[in-house]
Amino acid sequence: MTLDVEQLAARWVLEAIPSCELPAAAVQALSDGHDGPSLRQLAGEINPIRSDVSLLVECALVELGAPKLSRRDAALVLASRLAARIVDGSQPPYDGARQIWRLRNDVPELDHEFDPFIYWASEFEEASDEERKQFCIDAILASARDLGGHSA
């Protein structure tokens, strides 16, 4: 499995990656062919604490060529990855929509990009029959495609 550097950067910006996962991500990056002193040092960390390795992670992200992301852009990256998984069937639509809804709640810098997911996840929760639930699932899938989650 290849490390998704942009997703890693997005999770870091949004504080959505546990610090205990950082060494494994660094090891994966090294095995993918990336290299750098900060990356090697991060790979060797045992039980890192975010505040202690923050500068090290920032340097490792630069070594990886990761983009500098705002919180808004980081949320869009994570949402587009979720949308792609909804479209390819590896993420159940309602669960993916709920995760995107949580992103919207966590990142107030977002405008209305995620409103369809919020609306259709809410409608799914209130649906009283299978036909309505399926309608909501289809709408979530369409929203995921619109967000850029087409399978490539």
How many DSSP H helices and E strands does the chain contain?
Answer: 8, 0
Distance between CA atoms of residues 115 and 7, nearest Å: 22
Which residue numbers in the chain have pLDDT < 50?
A: 151-152
Q: What is the predicted pLDDT for the residue at 148?
A: 76
Q: What is the predicted pLDDT for the residue at 152?
A: 37
0.85 exceeded by the pTM? yes
Tokens 């923050």, residue located: 54
Q: What is the predicted pLDDT for the residue at 1?
A: 81
Distance between CA atoms of residues 138 and 104, nearest Å: 21
Q: What is the predicted pLDDT for the residue at 52?
A: 95
Q: What is the predicted pLDDT for the residue at 46?
A: 96
Q: What is the pLDDT of residues 120-140, one digit of tens each?
A: 999 999 999 999 999 999 999
Distance between CA atoms of residues 36 and 58, nearest Å: 12
Distance between CA atoms of residues 58 and 130, nearest Å: 47
Domain boundaries, the chain: 5-64, 71-146
Q: Residue 26 in 3-state DSSP? A: helix
Q: Are residues 86 and 96 in contact, defined by beta-carbon separation less than 8 angstroms?
A: yes
